[in-house]
Amino acid sequence: MNYRHAYHAGNFADVLKHMVLVALIDALEQKASPFCYIDTHAGRGRYDLRGPEARKTAESDEGFGVLKTATGLPPLLWKWLETVRACNEGDEAMRHYPGSPWIAAHLMRESDTAQLCELRAEEAGALRQLFHRDPRVHVHQRDGYEAMKALVPPKEKRGLVLIDPPFEAQEAEFRLIEKSLKAALEKWPGGVYAIWYPIKLRSHVQPFHRWLTKCGAKRVLVAELLLRPDDSPLRLNGTGVAIVNAPWKLDEALRDSLRLLPRLLGTPGESEYRLTWLVEDTPDETPTNA
């Protein structure tokens, strides 16, 4: 288990994932009743973009770094940016980038709760420290896949599970996700599950998409951002989030912001986005070049 998110925080994949997270929390907050947020692979919750790990890769320079001074962003991207700003408490240089737990906790209401799972002791310790004064947030140092099965359905009976594993072994991680999601859906068929995945070779992703179409959920939406053609196993060409039991009109909430990302972060003629219902009688949107 070598993966550390500090090397990747704020990269283009985080931008897509966290923008989708903001949209999902917005959708859950359309109803007054409380919800539970479950993060199976939570990380440390907040990252120093001037730290040695972040500087070594400089990945955030091509993600959050491009967008932090952007103006005229569509409402969803703007809300994501405001959330990052809030994580920096008035530091104009915005040295820190929030992880998914911080974003969720910032947007949650008093009555909502969060269950955060992180296996690595150092990261789980940092996460505990970050939220030690927030009674809504519970940190578990344990395997996120096992925890998901134990934690669903939450007592609120509504909510979101974010599955964001390290993908150290591409195809094996997809199979682990399928196995644990199957078990979770059996216990909680009505939960919203958002699964982040990297795109290197398209052929690695296709079996997962096929599995999703047969997982029994009535609505599965996929949002992808491809910076380069998905034809090389050696580099991160793109990224996607699959949303099982996607809230009504989530595609509309995502479209304007997602459409802009290839143009802002990618290369004209090479970068594109995809917003596709894998399960739903909604017409597919064809890839659009930047």
Q: How far is the CB of 79 from ligand SAM (least distance, A)?
A: 16
Residues 6+ apart with CB under 8 A from 187: 149, 152, 153
- 59: contact with ligand SAM by CB under 6 A: no
Active-site residue, 164 included: yes
**Selected range binding ligand SAM among 112-120, 126-134, 240-248, 256-264, rule: CB under 6 A:** 112-120
94, two tokens: 């915005």
The interface mask with ligand SAM, positions 145-184, x = CB under 6 A, is -------------------xxx------------------
Residue 100 labeled ligand binder: yes
Of the candidates 5, 79, 15, 4, the one whose C-alpha atom is nearest the C-alpha of residue 227 is 15
Report which residue's Cβ sits closest to ligand SAM.
99
CA distance 64 to 97: 8
The size of the interface with ligand SAM (CB under 6 A), counted in residues, is 20
Catalytic pick among 164, 230, 231, 256: 164
* Beta strands in the chain, from DSSP E residues, in sequence order: 36-39, 46-48, 96-98, 113-117, 137-140, 159-163, 192-199, 220-226, 238-244, 272-279, 288-289
Residue 43 within binding range of ligand SAM, rule CB under 6 A: yes
Q: Which two structure tokens, joined as six digits, stand for 151?
A: 């934690």
Cα–Cα nearest to 63, from 100, 138, 11: 11
117 binds ligand SAM (CB under 6 A): yes
Could you say whether residue 227 binds ligand SAM (CB under 6 A)? no
Do 257 and 284 contact (CB within 8 A), yes or no? no
The answer to whether the annotation marks 41 as part of a ligand binding site is yes
Q: Select the span of 77-85, 118-126, 215-223, 259-267 touching ligand SAM (CB under 6 A).
A: 118-126
Measured CA to CA in angstroms, residue 290 lies from 70, 90, 236, 258, 259 at distances of 17, 33, 18, 11, 8
> Is 266 marked as a binding-site residue?
no
Q: Which residues are annotated as a binding site for S-adenosyl-L-methionine?
A: 18, 41, 100, 118, 143-144, 164
Q: Annotated active-site positions, please?
A: 164
| Residues engaged in binding ligand SAM (CB under 6 A) | 1, 3, 5, 17, 39, 41-43, 99-100, 117-120, 123, 143-144, 164-166
